Amino acid sequence: MERSLLVAGFGGQGVMLIGKNIGYTASKKDLNATFFPAYGAEMRGGTANCSVVVSDSKICSPVKQELDEIIVMNDLSYEKFAGRVKKGGALYINSSLIEAKYEGDDITTYYVPVADIARKVGNPLVANMVMLGAYVANHEDIDVESMKETIKENLHGKENLIDVNIKAFEEGINLMKGGTQ
């Protein structure tokens, strides 16, 4: 089993954290995982993406031309990366910001209004955790409790934000389990 994922958006949307959490949670299960970040010098506003590969055997290349799954959080990323999903793969779209609809039925698309849900949860900054929840809901091999532990660990020093992040993550799961799209 080898699964490749690319998460893309603009700096400040927390795309790195989505990827890091997925990689770290896989590594806790004794799977191999690589996380490769690519971003410019700017902290916020620039483009940012990360590649995550999870495998039960050796991982050679941490980056791929075509990916099993791609998460896009803004228009620019949609334009740049949507065409790089493998046939039969999945594309997760932040439909709160991206109006485009993917044409073609060679891949599965999920339109997740992450920013709207994050606002409902009470903090627009946790949109990334909504997307993470949506992604995890589609992967039975990712343990939900283990992912929650990962989220908590990564909020070390920001304990006051744990609840809202976990809530956003759960909302993402609920949305997918509820059968949206």
Partner 1 sequence: MNDKLFVKGSEAIAEAAVRAGCRFFAGYPITPQNELPEYMSWRLPEVGGTYVQGESEMASMNMIFGAASTGTRCMTSSSGPGLSLKAESLSCALGSKLPHVMAIMMRGGPGHGIIFPAQQDYEFAVHGPCHGGVKQFILAPSTAQEAVDLTYSSFDIADKYRTGVLILGDGFLANTIENVTFPPMKKLEDLPQHKDWKITEYDPNHHKLITSYFPPEIMEQENIKMGQMYEYWEEHETQYQNYLMDDCEILICAYGSTGRICEEVVDELRNEGLKVGLFRPITLHPFPKKVFEEIDYNRVKLIVSVEMAIPGQLVEDIKNYVARRTRVEHFGRSGGVLINPGEIKEAIHKMVEE
Binding site for partner 1 (CB under 8 A): 20, 23-24, 27-28, 32-38, 41, 59-66
Tell me the closest approach of the beta carbon of residue 25 to partner 1, in angstroms.
9
The least CB distance from residue 52 to partner 1, in Å, is 9
In the complex, least distance from residue 23 CB atom to partner 1, rounded to whole angstroms? 6
Residue 12 or 37 having the CB closest to partner 1: 37
Of residues 76 and 164, the one with the C-beta less far from partner 1 = 76
Minimum CB distance to partner 1 smaller for 143 or for 170: 143
- Encode the chain in three state secondary structure: CEEEEEEEEECCCCHHHHHHHHHHHHHHCCCEEEEEEEECCCCCCCEEEEEEEEECCCCCCCCCCCEEEEEECCHHHHHHHHHHEEEEEEEEEECCCCCCCCCCCCCEEEEECHHHHHHHHCCHHHHHHHHHHHHHHCCCCCCHHHHHHHHHHHCCCCHHHHHHHHHHHHHHHHHHHCCCC
Q: How far is the CB of 125 from partner 1 (least distance, A)?
A: 22
